[in-house]
Structure 1
Amino acid sequence: MICKNCNSEVTHNFCPNCGQPSKLKRIDAHYISHEIEHVLHFDRGILFTVRELFINPGQNIRNYISENRSRLVKPVIFIILTSLIYTIINHFFHIEDQYLKYEGLETTAFVKILGWMQANYGYMNILTSTFIAIWLKVFFKKYSYNFFELLIMLCFTMGVSMLIFAFFAIIQGVFHIKLFGLAGIIGIIYLVWATGSFFEEKKIANYFKALISYLLGMITFLFFILAIGITIDLLIKH
Structure 2
Amino acid sequence: MTNCKACNIELTSKYCPNCGQSSQLKRIDGHYIIHEIEHVLHFERGILYTIKELIVNPGQNVRNYLSENRSRLVKPIIFIIVTSLVYSTCSNFFHLEDGYIRYFDSNKSTTSTIFEWVQGHYGYANIIMGIFIALWTKLFFRKYKLNIFEILILLCFVIGMGMLIYSVFAIIQGLTHFKVMQIAGIVGFVYTTWAIGQFYEKEKVINYVKAFFAYILGMITFALTAIIIGIIVDIVIKH
CA distance in 2, matches of 1:155, 1:59: 15
Q: Report SS of the residue matched to 1:200.
A: coil
Once the two structures are TM-superposed, the CA of residue 139 in structure 1 deviates from its matched residue by 0.9
1:167-182 counterparts in 2 under 5 A? 167-182=168-183
User: Which residue in 1 is equivalent to 2:28?
Assistant: 27
Aligned residue number for residue 59 of structure 1: 60
Secondary structure at the counterpart of residue 97 of structure 1: coil
**Partner residue of 1:184?**
185
- In the TM superposition, residue 187 of structure 1 has moved relative to its aligned partner by 0.9
> Which residue does 1:38 correspond to in 2?
39
Change (3 A) 1:197 1:224: same
Change (3 A) 1:114 1:3: farther
User: Which residue does the alignment assign to 2:111?
Assistant: 110
Q: Which residue of 2 aligns with 1:69?
A: 70
1:188 partner SS: helix
SS of the equivalent of 2:144 reads: coil
Would the aligned equivalents of 1:110 and 1:228 in 2 still touch at CA under 8 Å? yes
- Taking the aligned partners of 2:214 and 2:22, their CA distance within structure 1 comes to 46
Change in Cα spacing, 1:7 to 1:235, as seen in structure 2 (3 Å) is farther
1:32 Cα deviation from its structure 2 partner = 1.1
Structure 2 match to 1:231 = 232
Give a deviation string over 1:173-206, Cα, whole Å, max 9, x none: 1011111121111111111111111001111111
Q: RMSD of the TM alignment (CA)? A: 1.8
Provide structure 1 residue ranges, at least 5 long, that are not aligned to the other structure.
Answer: none
The answer on whether the counterparts of 1:82 and 1:162 sit within 8 Å (CA) in structure 2 is yes
Secondary structure of the residue aligned to 2:74 is: coil
Question: Structure 1 residues 105 and 142, CA, compared in 2 at 3 Å: closer, same or farther?
Answer: same
Please tell me the residue identity of whatever aligns with 1:215. Answer: I
Q: Which amino acid aligns with 2:178?
A: I
Whole-Å separation in 2 of the counterparts to 1:150 and 1:118: 25
Deviates more, 1:110-119 or 1:218-227: 110-119
Q: Per the alignment, in what secondary structure is the counterpart of residue 23 of structure 1? A: coil
Q: Distance in 2 between matches of 1:121 and 1:178?
A: 17
Cα displacement (A) at 1:234: 2.3
Partner residue of 1:94?
95
Partner of 1:219: 220
User: Shift of the alpha carbon at 1:103?
Assistant: 5.4
1:203 aligned partner: 204
Listed as ranges, the gaps of 5+ residues in structure 2 are none
Q: Is the 8 A contact 2:105 2:112 kept in 1?
A: no
Offset of residue 121 of structure 1: 4.1
Amino acid at match of 1:92: F
Aligned identity (percent) is 57
The verdict on how the C-alpha distance between 1:110 and 1:43 changes in structure 2, with shifts beyond 3 A counting, is: same
Give the conservation status (yes or no) of the 8 Å contact 2:123–2:163.
no
2:13 & 2:112 partners in 1: Cα distance?
57
Residue type at the aligned position of 1:184: G
**CA 1:109–1:10 in 2, change beyond 3 Å: closer, same or farther?**
farther
Supply the distance in 1 between the matched residues of 2:114 and 2:48 (Cα, whole angstroms).
32
- Deviation at residue 7 of structure 1 after TM alignment: 2.1
Q: Report what 2:163 is aligned to.
A: 162
Q: Deviations over 1:95-135 (max 9, x none)?
A: 233764655445x3333334444555443322211111111
TM-score by length of structure 1 reads: 0.92
Deviations 1:210-230 (A, max 9, x none): 000000011111111222222
Q: What is the number of residues matched between the two proteins? A: 237
Aligned residue identity for 2:71: S
The answer to whether the 8 Å contact 1:84/1:121 transfers is: no
Paired with 1:60 and 1:120, the residues of 2 have a C-alpha distance of: 28
TM-score, L = length of structure 2: 0.92
Instruction: Give the aligned partner of residue 133 of structure 1.
Output: 134
Q: Which amino acid aligns with 1:234?
A: I
Identify which range, 22-31 or 112-121, moves more after superposition. Answer: 112-121
Gap change, CA 1:220 and 1:176, over 3 Å in 2: same
